[in-house]
Amino acid sequence: MTARRVLLVRHCEVDSRYRGVCYGRSDVGLSESGYANSLVLARRLAQFPVTEIWHSGLTRTRVVADALAALVLVPVRESRLLRERDFGEWELRTWDDLYRETGEAMLGSLREPATWRPPGGETTFECRDRVVTWYNSIPAEGVIVAVTHGGPIAALQGSLGDREVAAWPSLVPPTGTVLEL
């Protein structure tokens, strides 16, 4: 076996009714093109000698993971540690409505990452700690594919790269992106 390669995959495009909506932990579906692109993405990932496939347990990540597993005959593993940030009471509300009600409250996630949370949600560092716990638990060898979300990808990259939390939003990749750690 070779040294570890970790491929972080952000799920493909969600259904258009969720554009402009806060949907962290909520299980929202993919658009038609998001579903089709998930199958293309799985075929692309199948070119790697995949040894493990992980996903967050949400439908938008499961589609790629299951399609990849069928191609490479590697079992799929689910980990809630890979889920998107929990936005609590903000889930499934429009960002415009939240901004009108709370102003720039969301900036607390960058200014006070250890303590600020949306009502009933989690802090930036709680999200980071989840994904880092997952990362520290995976094998030291093999090609590991993790189909996850923008927030956990940015938190993991930011933590491993020792980046300031304020820079993490710039680390959120577009949907359907594959990043190698």
Taking only the tens of pLDDT, the chain with its 181 residues reads: 568 999 999 999 999 999 999 999 999 999 999 999 999 999 999 999 999 999 999 999 999 999 999 999 999 999 999 999 999 999 999 999 999 999 888 888 888 999 999 999 999 999 999 999 999 999 999 999 999 999 999 999 999 999 999 999 999 999 999 999 9
- Can you give the pLDDT at residue 1? 56
Give the dihedral sign, CA 114/118/124/126. positive
- Can you give the pLDDT at residue 109? 87
Q: In b/e form, how buried is each residue of 148-159, taking b as 16+ CB within 10 angstroms?
A: bbbbbbbbbbbb
Name 17's Cβ contacts closer than 8 Å, sequence gap at least 6.
none
- Can you give the pLDDT at residue 75? 97
Nearest to 39 by CA among 139, 147, 138: 147
- Can you give the pLDDT at residue 128? 97
Q: Where are the domains of the chain?
A: 5-180
| The listed CATH number (3.40.50.1240, 3.30.300.20, 3.40.50.720, 2.60.40.10) that belongs to domain 5-180 | 3.40.50.1240
